[in-house]
């Protein structure tokens, strides 16, 4: 998915985020994927994550043993046409 630069805030265009080991970067809400957050990139998936978990889970935790999958609550399906 490509987001036109005009759609991004001026701040996010000039600032580069360095994730390092991911301990200080929130997996669901911080802009760590090409300057975007998972919340923006996959809003339907994000809606299946509790607010408490979304604000707590770090990239480091999420990527260890694919723990981010445990954050998804309920049933999630994708319509393929």
DSSP-derived 3-state class of residue 19: coil
Q: CB 8: neighbour CB atoms within 10 A?
A: 15
Q: pLDDT tens, 8-66?
A: 566 555 556 677 899 999 999 999 998 899 999 999 999 999 999 999 999 999 999 99
User: CA 37 to CA 34: how far, in whole Å?
Assistant: 8
Cα three-residue angle 21-57-52, rounded to 5 degrees: 160
Tell me the domain boundaries of the chain.
Answer: 5-71
- Tokens representing 56 are 């707590």
pLDDT of 26 reads: 96
């Amino acid at each position: 998915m490509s987001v036109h630069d005009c759609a991004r805030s001026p701040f996010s265009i000039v600032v580069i985020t360095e994730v390092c080991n991911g301990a200080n970067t929130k997996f669901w809400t911080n802009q760590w994927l090409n300057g975007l957050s998972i919340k923006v990139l996959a809003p339907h998936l994000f809606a299946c994550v509790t607010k408490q978990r979304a604000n707590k889970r770090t990239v480091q935790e999420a990527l260890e043993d694919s723990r981010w999958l445990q954050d998804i609550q309920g049933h999630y399906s994708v319509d393929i046409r």
